[in-house]
Amino acid sequence: MKRRDFLRNTTLASGALLIPSFLKPLEAIAMGDMSGYKNLVIIQLSGGNDGLNTIVPFGNDIYYQKRKTIAIQQPDIIKLTDAQGLNPNLSALKEIYDQGWMSIINSVGYPNPDRSHFRSMDIWQTGSDANQFLTTGWIGRYLDSNCSTCTDPYTAIEVDDTLSLAMKGAKMKGIAVENPAKLYQATRDPFFKQLVHQHNSANLNEDNLGYLYKTMIETYSSADYIQQTSKTYNTTALYPQTAFANQLKSVAKFINAGLKTRVYYVSLSGFDTHTGQQNQQGRQLKTYGDAVAAFVKDLKQADKLDDTLVMAFSEFGRRVEQNASDGTDHGTANNIMIFGGKLKKQGIYNNAPNLAQLDNGDLKYEVDFRDVYATLLDKWLNVNNSHVLNRNFAGLNFV
């Protein structure tokens, strides 16, 4: 079938929405057009990061009483306020904090917290209640929510080789890209190309076969778009030599090259510190802090920091009291870190966690994590949060 006939037929048969993206006229993407194109970068710290040893509440004696062997000692803490300071392994973030590019929201969580890693991560990724099971992720539902720029899978990119639940909607899904060149290569298998080019309109019905073909064609065109666009930008900034820093380096490259992506997702694991916490968490925090600092500076230098917002979260914090193996066990509320060039509330957003009033040894949450999501959706991604979170959240005021 000729391309023109194909276009006409599919338009008639199943509506303009199903025209494969790669057949649409490519708009010229001049760098100038991209100013004001806002990006959200989500960093997932997997395993349950101990927030109390990350943003240390050194001003509270209870912290030292409950953590006899693993508390961070006062001289080592990088003090931010009279009450809280950074773990020394986050020293790279001090400069970012001082520039006003960092905000810390304390005591974020949800009612009836679950201490299982996978269940709590599920709750964070889907934005559900503790007793509710959703099959779509909150970013996926953002893609579903009819936002005008969400028609292509590359609207949300996860820098990984598989796609997290957070990125899966009912109709739309993001795309996982560990390495754009590799993905591009994989989609250029001659047999695959033949399938993409030879399918006919019948393959693009609303049924499951149509869905498979549509996904295949979108992958093909997205892989091309991501590779061709991102290779135009040459990263000159210096990043640490870690896998996590490489992920952020890729994200910066995508942003700086002007990729029309709204949401990026990266993750770093290794935070489940039941034993010998100080060294293990210290290493992970250093990897995290050094990479984020390099990333923020890279974006600043490319004049993209004002258009970028970063949110770092973990599925839960740890218990306030340490355990007998110099570690901490699964807890509940935790802090969230926000980075960006245009923060409304810079520095520490709310009170340090209340260590005196605990719920069975755990921090009580004061901010629902969905109020953080609601803020990002309403004020950054410009979509009414109730369309994504299934009910309306008031949101916060950090941006």
- State the residues that interact with other proteins by CB under 8 A: 118-119, 122, 131, 133, 135, 153, 161-163, 165, 167-168, 170, 173-176, 183, 185-195, 198-200, 202-203, 207-209, 211-213, 215-216, 218-219, 222, 275, 325
Nearest to other proteins of 88, 140 (CB atom): 140
Provide, for the chain, the percentages of residues in helix, strand and coil under a 3-state DSSP scheme, each rounded to the nearest 5.
45, 15, 45
Nearest to other proteins of 175, 266 (CB atom): 175
What's phi and psi for 329, nearest 5 deg? -100, 170
The CB-of-1 to other proteins minimum distance in angstroms stands at 9
Nearest to other proteins of 329, 371 (CB atom): 329
- DSSP H or E segment with residue 56: strand 55-56
Nearest to other proteins of 175, 333 (CB atom): 175
Q: How many CA atoms lie within 13 A of 339 on its CB side?
A: 25
The CB-of-124 to other proteins minimum distance in angstroms stands at 13
Nearest to other proteins of 281, 287 (CB atom): 281
Encoded amino acid at 152, one letter:
D
d(CA 308, CA 261) in angstroms, rounded, equals: 11
The CB-of-115 to other proteins minimum distance in angstroms stands at 11
b/e 258-279 (16+ beta carbons within 10 angstroms → b): bbbbbbbbbbbebbbbbeebbe
The CB-of-297 to other proteins minimum distance in angstroms stands at 30
d(CA 234, CA 174) in angstroms, rounded, equals: 25
Q: Phi/psi class of residue 127: alpha, beta or left (left: φ > 0; alpha: ψ in -120 to 50)?
A: left
Closest CA to 56 of 92, 85, 22, 94: 85
DSSP letters for 285-331: HHHHHHHHHHHHHHHHHTT-GGGEEEEEEES--B-SS--TTSS--B-
The CB-of-332 to other proteins minimum distance in angstroms stands at 16
Nearest to other proteins of 194, 382 (CB atom): 194
The CB-of-87 to other proteins minimum distance in angstroms stands at 24
Nearest to other proteins of 173, 304 (CB atom): 173
The CB-of-116 to other proteins minimum distance in angstroms stands at 8
